[in-house]
Each structure stands twice: as structure tokens, then as C-alpha cells.
Structure 1
Amino acid sequence: MMRLARLVWLLLLAALFGAALFFLRPIEPPVPPDSPLHGQIERIVVEKAARRLTVWQDGKVVRNWPIALGFAPEGDKVRQGDGKTPEGTFRIDRRNDRSAFHLSLGLDYPQPADRARAKAGGYSPGGDIMIHGQPNSVPEDMKVRGDWTAGCIALTNAQIRELWQVARLGTVVEVRP
């Protein structure tokens, strides 16, 4: 009986370890940037289909990073819980260094048109759309695979720390399909 219990316990541990390896993956070593970002950036462009976030400063691209999106990323966000990342032009309207994810930069979604559409349809448009790092429970050298957020835009922790230093309130964020 003890042998069977130990075998079941070992199989359970192996399954948990396998699940962790499936959902988390090591971060690829970053390519050293030309130089650290300083000052303030002009804008951020998110291309959902390409899963890419581009940072613009002084009229030129200074960073391109891969991203994760909402768990159902195709199409524009319509309502709370749909797993979509909203499309359009937004501004960073808040910063949170104590979120459930490593740093977060909030976008001014929903906008008036989103609220009006939701009110007419009798549902919530959702909110709390952020650019953020990995969940605080994920080790620093790992990242969650695939599109996993509730509608946010996720970077690695190192990338969000760099963006955090140069993205000010009011920075324009364009989210394209």
C-alpha cells in the first residue's frame, strides 16, 4: 500500500512539473541594446497580429519586443471577459508598481464610445487594460507561453522595467489589429 501511495505521489509531482514546463518557458537571452533608453518616449505601437510592441523615440524605432495578448486576441475588445485586447489609440493614464504583475502601465480604456456601446448593449465594456510584465508568481527568468492575459499586453519583466523608465503618463499607445 505504501509503495502504491509513493508511486501515485511521484506521478502527481511529475505531472505538476510537466505542466509547469509546458506553461512556462525560459526567456531567450536578450540581445544587448545599442544603448539604454533615457528621457521620454513618443509613442508605443502594438501590432496584435505580429505579437510585437514597438517603442518610438525622437522619430525612430528604439525597441521591438515580442508580446503576449489576451487569451482570445483576434478582433477588438467588446465586453468584459471576452479575452480580447482593445484596438485603437490610447494614452497611458496610470502606473502601478504594486500590481499582481511585474509593473503595469494602464491604458485609458474604455473610452467614451466603448462605454456608450456597452451601455446600449446592456453589458460592461471591461477595463484595467495594461501593459505589464509577468505574473509576480513566475520566476524572473521565465515567462508564460502564448496569449494568456485577460486583454492586456504582456512583456518580460526586464522589458517592462526598461519601458517603465521612459513611458510617462500621456504617452500615446496605438494598438493595431
Structure 2
Amino acid sequence: MRRDFLKLMLGGAGLLALASCSTRDPKFKTYSGPPVTRIDVFKSRRVMTFYSGSRPIKSYNFGLGFAPQGHKDYEGDGKTPEGLYYIDRRNPNSRYHLSVGISYPNEQDKARALAEGVQVGSDIFIHGQGPEGRAARVRDWTVGCIAVTDAEIEDIYAMVPDGTPIMIYP
């Protein structure tokens, strides 16, 4: 009887040890709500709303680039693009905690930059704070991205699949 009790205790301790060695990173959440089918971003109001069909399911406030008004014209202008794009990639090792990519530049953006003789921008993301965001003393501090808190990007990263349309309004 005593031997059986010892085996049970050792087995339980082993399971506890395995559970405590979990490699799951807490920044990777799971999402079991309704599917996100589109995102609307209103730059002037700094509100980003996630929809499932026609029903809004979540909204976030955000910061933008250091020159938030107008459509992104060229690399380094500090503006966030406007128009229809898609979530097209994700970076689990982002300098800004986590990030999901926006499909800028599209073909029209490339053609406009070429016609104007400027370098089109790239690497536009929805991302967390990172070191710059935590140090920033202003609302709009990115170079054209959409910045939310680290906790919010964890939710967004989990709930938004690649291919989701994102409409960015002035």
C-alpha cells in the first residue's frame, strides 16, 4: 500500500514538473470568437473596428505615423496608407512585440511612386509598442504603421487571419 502511494506521488510530481516546463509563450493567445471578416481603420478618429460579417465585434484605439494625415506617398514620409489592403503576413518575433502585415504597397501605390520618381514605402504593420512605443511621449510615433498596446496586438494576432481585408480611411 505504501509503495503504491509512493508511485502515485512520484507520478503526480512528474506531471507537475512537465506542466511547469511548458514552452507555450504567453503572448500567443487563442481566439474562439466569431471569425473576423474585415477591419475598418479610421485614421482621423484613431479607431480600428473588427467585423464578423456586418457585426462589429471589437474596436481599438491606436497611434499612427509621425505625419498621420494623407496617404502614404513614399518611403520615410511617416504616413499610413489609405485604401483597401489585406492582412498578408505576421511576425511572431517583431521588435514591436507581435505584428501583422498590411499588403502595402499595392499595384496603384507602386505605379504612383514610379510616376513621381520616389521610393515606394514598405513594411506597414499593425503592431505593439516595442521599445520606441514604450519610450514615446506622443500618440503618433511610428513611421507609418498602426500601433496598439502589446496586450491588444496579442488579441489581434490571434483573431485576424491572413487574407482579411483592411480598409483604411482618412
Q: Secondary structure at the match of 1:130?
A: strand
Could you tell me how far apart the structure 2 residues matched to 1:78 and 1:160 are?
26
Give the Å deviation of 1:136: 4.5
Question: Where does residue 67 of structure 2 map in the other structure?
Answer: 72
Question: Where does residue 20 of structure 1 map in the other structure?
Answer: none
Q: Secondary structure at the match of 1:102?
A: coil
Question: Where does residue 102 of structure 2 map in the other structure?
Answer: 107
Which structure has the greater CA radius of gyration?
Answer: 2
* Amino-acid identity (%): 42
Give the Å deviation of 1:166: 1.1
Does the CA-based 8 Å contact 1:37-1:162 persist in structure 2?
Answer: no
Could you tell me how far apart the structure 1 residues matched to 2:109 and 2:147 are?
22
Work out which of the residue numbers 54, 63, 80 in structure 1 matches 2:58: 63
Could you tell me how far apart the structure 2 residues matched to 1:127 and 1:54 are?
23
TM-score of the aligned structures, taking structure 2 as reference length: 0.76
Aligned letter for 1:91? Y
Aligned letter for 1:131? I
Q: 1:67 to 1:150 in 2, by over 3 A?
A: same
Could you tell me how far apart the structure 1 residues matched to 2:165 and 2:32 are?
17
Q: 1:120 to 1:55 in 2, by over 3 A?
A: same
Counterpart check, 1:91 vs 2:86: yes
Does the CA-based 8 Å contact 1:134-1:144 persist in structure 2?
Answer: no
Does the CA-based 8 Å contact 1:38-1:165 persist in structure 2?
Answer: no
Aligned letter for 2:127? H
TM-score of the aligned structures, taking structure 1 as reference length: 0.73
Counterpart check, 1:158 vs 2:151: yes
Could you tell me how far apart the structure 2 residues matched to 1:109 and 1:72 are?
17
Counterpart check, 1:171 vs 2:170: no
Q: 1:113 to 1:90 in 2, by over 3 A?
A: same
Q: After superposition, what is the alpha-carbon deviation per residue over 1:58-112, rounded to whole angstroms, capped at 9, x for unaligned?
A: 4211111110001000111101111000000100110001111011100110011
Could you tell me how far apart the structure 1 residues matched to 2:50 and 2:136 are?
21
